[in-house]
Structure 1
Amino acid sequence: MLLWISGPFGGGKTQTAYEMHRRLPGSIVCDPEHVGFGLHRMLPPGLRGDFQDLAAWRQGVVEVLDLALTEHDGVVIAPMTVTDSGYFAETVGRLRGLGHDVHHFTLLAERGTVLRRLHERGLGHVLRYVAGKDAGLRRESWAVEQLDRCLERLREPEFAEHLWTDHTTVPKTADRIAVLAGLTLKPNNEGALRTRLRQAGVGTRHIRFD
């Protein structure tokens, strides 16, 4: 089974993926971004656009996930946002066409909620330091510049199942996904402090500088 978790940058997809991995024995996280950033490193900076525009990325993601799903005896979790209908068909659609059990979930939140989460995890402060203290978050971050378009596209029916996360936690979102996918997670017995520390670690490990 493949759990493909989508959502805007700052929407919680990576945190949710690793929460499910923590509580779902035998599961693995296969992040399609790794394929994209590997391709970027092979190109000169001037040619590093959106890696999803590269056919090599779409083909590579399908090949890697197909291999993992075929050979790994456990659930595969892929945190990745694809908003282009054609690219969605070439990745999620192709994996379904290959006969895999694919469950696609989009984590949504109001624009203000996403921006608040970005600020809370410190991204805004880091970016303002790099860009200059008077630079706004929208101007500093490509992800924020794409936020409105991303949220609008992800609300479309083709990107269901939609899960609104404004008033819930990452562990509870993971619980909801598990129920919808027919899975059973280990109980969440962490205290609040340990959860915050673990999630901070996940966030730090996934800061991208490419």
Structure 2
Amino acid sequence: MWVNGPFGGGKTQTAYELVRRLPGSVVCDPEHPGFGLHRMLPPALRGDFQDLGAWRHGVREVLGLALRGHPGPVVAPMTPVHGGYFEEIVGRLREDGHTVHHFSLLAERGTVLRRLGERGLGRGLKRESFAVERLDDCLERLRAPEFAEHIRTDRLTVPQVADRIGEAAGLRLLPDTDGPLRHRVRRTWTGIRHIRFD
């Protein structure tokens, strides 16, 4: 399951909710090799790592390996909005015989900005300037048919989004037994574990 969406759209939270409620599933995060490639470059040469062919090829190769070798569902939270790049990864995985369910989590601009501000470690949207600069283009591109299935998340909780993905992918998720406090703690902990400092 590829969980797409704008930065701050809830991809990582949803991916880990799916894994929590799908025994035997695993998150394979395509951002990690991208950050590694960034670290190899001098800061002045660091752009969008998705523009690097090495990233696209590596993500497809590693996800293919995971899909062939792991017996359970594989969840990839990532934001490819360039149609050619999407085809190069997801399209090729499908051509290789893998079933890839793709979902774009969409929300109103204000909703995404609020979410980005909440994860800014007290610095608000300043820390998320990369995401804010790309937000409008990202939301526009993800509305295209090739990025369906679209899920509007403005009025959905993370467990509800996971439920919709599971249902659309034909997977039975364990029931969500978290109360409001545990849900908030779980979301906070997932957010803390995925803070980037570079």
TM-score by length of 1: 0.91
1:119 to 117, 120, 130: 117
Please name the residue that 1:181 is paired with: 169
Q: Distance in 2 between matches of 1:57 and 1:166?
A: 31
Which structure 2 residue ranges, 5 or more long, are not aligned? none
1:9 to 7, 13, 18: 7
Residue 208 of structure 1: how far off its partner (Å): 1.6
Please name the residue that 2:184 is paired with: 196
Task: Indicate the structure (1 or 2) with the bigger Cα radius of gyration.
Answer: 1
2:134 to 146, 153, 160: 146
Amino acid of the structure 1 residue aligned with 2:21: R
3-state secondary structure, aligned to 1:146: helix
2:86 to 85, 88, 96: 88
TM-score by length of 2: 0.96
3-state secondary structure, aligned to 1:102: coil
Moved over 4 A (4+): none
Equivalent residues of 1:17, 1:78 under 8 A apart: yes
1:98 to 96, 100, 104: 96
Q: Distance in 2 between matches of 1:110 and 1:37?
A: 28
CA RMSD of aligned residues (A): 1.4
Which structure 1 residue ranges, 5 or more long, are not aligned? 128-136
3-state secondary structure, aligned to 1:105: strand
Q: Deviation digits for residues 79-137 of structure 1, max 9, x if unmatched? A: 0010001101111111111100000000000001111112233x17325xxxxxxxxx3
3-state secondary structure, aligned to 2:75: strand
Amino acid of the structure 1 residue aligned with 2:5: G
Q: Distance in 2 between matches of 1:167 and 1:20?
A: 18
The 1:114/1:162 distance shift into structure 2, 3 A limit, reads: same
Q: Distance in 1 between matches of 2:178 and 2:104?
A: 25
Amino acid of the structure 2 residue aligned with 1:165: T
Residue 209 of structure 1: how far off its partner (Å): 2.0
The 1:27/1:18 distance shift into structure 2, 3 A limit, reads: same
Q: How many residue pairs get matched? A: 198
Residue 50 of structure 1: how far off its partner (Å): 0.6
